[in-house]
Every structure is written in C-alpha cells, then in structure tokens.
Amino acid sequence: MAEPTERRLPGSVPTAHRDTFARDALPPASLWPVMAYDGVAELAYQDRLNCATELLDRAIDRGWGDRVVFHAPGHSWTYAELLARANQVAHVLVDDLGLVPGNRVMLRGPNSPMLAAIWFAVCKAGGIVVCTIPLSRARELVYIADKGEVTLALTDARLAADCVQAMAHRADGTPRDGARVLEYNAPAGGSNGPSLEQRMAAKPTTFTNVDTAADDVALIAFTSGTTGEGKGTMHFHRDVMAICDCFPRFVLRPEPADVFIGSPPLAFTFGLGALVLFPMRIGASAVLLEQASPPFLVQGIQAYRATVVATAPTAYRAMLGLRDGIDLSSLKRSISAGEPLPLSTYSAWLEATGIAIIDGIGATELLHIFISASGDDIRPGSTGRVVPGYEARVVDDALRDVADGTIGRLAVRGPTGCRYLDNVERQRAYVQDGWNLTGDSYIRDVDGYFWYQARTDDMIISSGYNIAGPEVEGVLLEHPAVQECAVIGVPDDTRGQLVKAFIVLTPGVERSGAMVQQLQAWVKEQLAPYKYPRAVEFVDSMPRTATGKLQRHVLRDRARSAAPPSPPSP
C-alpha cells in the first residue's frame, strides 16, 4: 500500500473567506480522511486556486471563447458568453446583494445554462454554492438553509414559492433575519423586486475573481437521503479540479468534440461533473435539459447528436424500450452511476447500441467516481478498478484487509474525501484511520477488479448465509415478467432475516400466486437455493430519489409495518 502523498488539514493555507462559517464547521483535523493522490502529477495544485478561474476564465485564455459550451432547447451559449454572464451575476451578488467570501448561496432551478452561470458566479465571488434540486419542497429547503446558515437564494421564478417560504423562517419558526431571494428566468421582473436578468443588464462583463485558497470550501453538496435525512458534504476548490483530473482523464477519456448529455440535476455531484465540469475541463460542450426523463433523454441524444450520455441504470433500461424511430448512432460512451448496474441492463444496452456502459461508483462524500473501467478494461458485472489518484481496499470491521474473493467493506482514499458539515458523529462513522468507508460491501478479485455485493446495511444474513440483495435483483431482472425489483432482508424469527422481493411487473403480466412461484423457481435455477426470495410483494412503482436511487429504507419501513401479501415459502 502506497504512503499518502500529502495530508491537507484545515487552515494549512490562509483562507480568503471573511465569513468563516464553513471552515469553522469542518470536522476536527483528527477525523479528516488522508488526502492522497498516489503520484498523479496533475493533482498537485497550487495553494491558491479558484475553480471558476481554472474552468471558465482559463477557457478563454486557451482560445475556446467561440466554442459552444452549453446547448439548450432554443439556444446555445459559447464559453465567452458564459463567462460574460457569470461575471455579471458575480457583480450582482457582490454589488447589489452584499455577498462576502464564505457566504453560502442556495441555488434552485432545473438544469440550464443560467444555472451553470450562477454556479460559477458564486465561486468567482468567493461564495459557497449550495445547489438544490427542483423537486425539493419548502420543508427540505428549510433543513438545508438551517444546516448551512444560508440567507441568500437565487431561484428560477417558476420555483420561487417554496424558496421564499424556506428563506422566511427557520424550522423552529423564528425569522431568518436578513434573508433574501432573487429570481431569474422572470422576464417581467421577480415577485420580490427586479429579476436577476434585470440587475445583470447594467453590470460589467468583467470581474476580478476572489483569490481563494485551494482548500477554501467551494460547495456544500447534500446527500440524496437514501437512508433518511441528507447530510451536508463540504468540498474545496481543489476537490472540484481533482474530479476533473481523475475519472474523465484516465477512464472516460473524452475529446473536445464530444457533446455530453444526461439526466442528473446539477445539484447532484454526478450531474455537476458529467454535465458541467468534465466537458469544460477539455473545451467540450454539454446539453442541459430541464426535463431529462428517458423519453426526453433519447430525443435529446438524437436532436443534439450527443456523444456521451450519463444517467442511472434505471434510465438505461427504460430507454431500451423507447428507441423505435430514434437515432442514437451519435453515441460513443455511456456512463452509469448512482446505483449498481445490473448485468442484464449492461448486456441489453450493449446488444442494442454496441456501447459497453462505463459503470462507476462514486459518493457525494468523495464528490465523484473513484472506481470504474472503460473499453477493453471492462469486465461485465464488475464496477471496475481503482481510478488513478485513488486507493481502495476491502476490509473487515477492524479495517484489516480481507483476502481477494472475500466480501468486506469498501475503504477508499484519494484527492477527495468526506468532510461532513457540523456532524462529528457521522464523520467518525464514515472516516476511520484516514480511510473513507463508503457503506458498500465489495469483493476484490486477484486482478484488482471490484465486484459490488450490497450496501453494508443491505447485506442479508439468513440462516447464517450472506446474501447480496443486488445479486438476486439482477437475476429477477432477467425474467421477462419483471420490469423493476428490489430485494431486502426482513426480520424472521426462524432465519434471522428473510429474503423479500418487491417487484414491478411488466405491463400486461398478471399478479398471481402462480407468478410468485414462477419467479421464485427462476431464481432457484440461477442461484444457490438459499438466495431465492421467500416473500414476494408486487408493487406499482419503486420509491426513488430524484436521481433514481432506490430508497430501500422506505421498503424496509413498509415491510415492518405491514404483513407480506404472499406468505413466505418454506
């Protein structure tokens, strides 16, 4: 195991933040992960660094000003136009709204070039981006604003109501003193005064970026809450650059002529990287769609001749049934993240398009993908190998390496790592002895490939057997009667836990006891008999987050509160 290249600790470089809330809310230095980059020279950044400068201003210096950076329905922006608008927004933030470096700014809106311009403007002004998804409601926004002590929000006018409500009062009902909401995409003016565009009109198109430290916080990203209430994760300017110089450089290998497209919102780090940061690092372009569900995504691929698509496994499976009359021949690469990629989905997409999906595991806590493989390095069913710049191990509960071929806990370290916002208890659980423990169970093989088994809390132990729910799900998805499924463990007096499957049937397939038996027999034919689902519940849909992640905790709660409609098999 290589020794860490460096350990960056808070305060190692003077901060540019006058508002030190974020730095003060960092975990104690003793709980930080080791920040290593395994000898990758591109990751040795200068101590003073502003990610907006590197990704946007430097694009003009490189001669990319006339290149298209973002496509959107009805219009497109060049790098020069993006820079001009970001600079104008930065002036509004500083001159009109009094932003000082270190202030948190909530962003709310669907994916669009303007949202990206605001994102960069906040970083240019030395602020901290707190981007939220359009589906969030006032209650959720209040939690985020309280946790991050946010008093300034920029929102799409169509989504302003919840934002205004959240900025008005804290969760305890007390007024959020000094809070302001500014609307954009409101040509006639915002409901709270002049719109952002109206304010921008009189502002210069040049701006002097704040000279932030490389380890000043640039964004606070909230986890998607697959296990409950989201947690704020703090990422530095150097972290933003590091994810640009790892997975895309060594695995994805995009080209300046590429056109990126995808479904994740920019509020989620998968979308931020794949649709903004990665293409801009090399002078490529991206399509930003307000609506990017599978029907819109396949149409967008055709309309913009997209070459790189990034979405979740569920969307790939859905797009397979939407290809009639759609030309997807422009695609060169497909990226999957957010949840495990079933082998059946990988195989079906490969057969339909000729493209091998690039699977990857990332985490909001580490900002983006750290294990993946592409091209000839792909081993179907495996997540891949460690992305250069990172290290990964499979360990037991005492953090000792387990033998190759043995299930254990995934431990990772690299140029990015977990720093929870004011949450020491969760920090202690996630970071141990300098390693990030992602909560995933994996097997590593002798060739260094990592094979996903389950979330650590999703591993089912029944009658002494370890059963990985995703493995059973993968087999069920191969049956033509199954459209979606999820497998969890439910308490059982005899076996400790019982394997239970929640299944969305293919349209036209009837729910019946005979179908339960058919699916159980199918699993028994493919896997060791102890792995088959002894309980089956047919459902209309699966509970998922906005990015398509399955919320198994919702299914567990449902299973605890209601008896299964089909009795467990003996």
Reported as a single tens digit per residue, the pLDDT across 170-220 is 999 999 999 999 999 997 766 778 999 999 999 999 999 999 999 999 999
Tokens of 323: 């290809």
**Contact yes or no for 547/338 (Cβ under 8 A):** yes
377-to-145, 324, 392, 495, 515 alpha-carbon distances in Å: 43, 31, 17, 40, 39
Length of the chain: 570
Fold agreement between 50-212 and 463-561: no
**461 pLDDT above the threshold of 80:** no
Cα 462 to Cα 561: distance, rounded to the nearest angstrom:
20
**What is the dotted CATH code of the domain comprising 463-561?**
3.30.300.30
pLDDT exceeds 80 at position 487? yes
Q: Which of 269, 341, 259 is nearest to 302 (CA)?
A: 259
Q: What is the DSSP letter of 414?
A: B
CA–CA dist 512, 509 (Å, integer):
9
Non-local CB neighbours of 443 within 8 Å, separated by 6+ positions: 394, 404, 405, 406, 407, 408, 450, 451, 453
C-alpha span between 309 and 333 (Å, rounded): 7
Mean of per-residue pLDDT scores for the chain? 91
Between 338 and 29, residue with greater pLDDT? 29
Give the Å distances, CA to CA, from 26 to 20, 46, 290, 418, 422.
10, 21, 33, 10, 6
Instruction: Mention every residue, 6+ apart, whose C-beta is less than 8 A from residue 208.
Output: none
Residue 425 to residues 26, 239, 300, 367, 419: CA-CA distances in angstroms? 13, 23, 43, 20, 12
* pLDDT attached to residue 526: 80
CA dihedral 227, 228, 232, 237 (to 10 degrees): 40
pLDDT band at 485 (very low <50, low <70, confident <90, very high): very high
> DSSP per residue over 370-385, as a string?
EEE--GGG--TT--BE
User: Pick from 117, 104, 252, 240: which is nearest to 179 by CA?
Assistant: 104
Question: For the residues of 126-163, what is the DSSP string, one character each?
Answer: T-EEEEE-TT--HHHHHHHHHHHT--EEEEEGGGHHHH
Q: What is the pTM of this model?
A: 0.84
The number of C-alpha atoms within 13 Å of 461 and in the hemisphere containing its C-beta is: 5
Q: Which residue has the tokens 């980059």?
A: 37
CATH for 50-212 is 3.40.50.980
Q: Which pLDDT score, from 0 to 100, does residue 220 have?
A: 98
Among 199, 257, 88, 275, which Cα is nearest to 80's?
Answer: 88
Domain boundaries, given as residue ranges, for the chain? 50-212, 463-561
**Which pLDDT band holds residue 455 (cuts at 50, 70, 90)?**
confident
Cα–Cα distances (Å) from 91 to 2, 96, 121, 188, 336, in that order, read: 45, 7, 8, 21, 37
pLDDT digits (tens, 9 = 90+) for 229-274: 678 999 999 999 999 999 999 999 999 999 999 999 999 899 999 9
Structure tokens at 500: 């239970």
Q: What does the pLDDT average to over 384-400?
A: 96
Lowest-confidence segment of 376-390, 401-415, 498-512, 536-550 by average pLDDT? 536-550
- Tokens 């985490």 map to which residue? 363
Give the residue carrying structure tokens 């030190």: 20
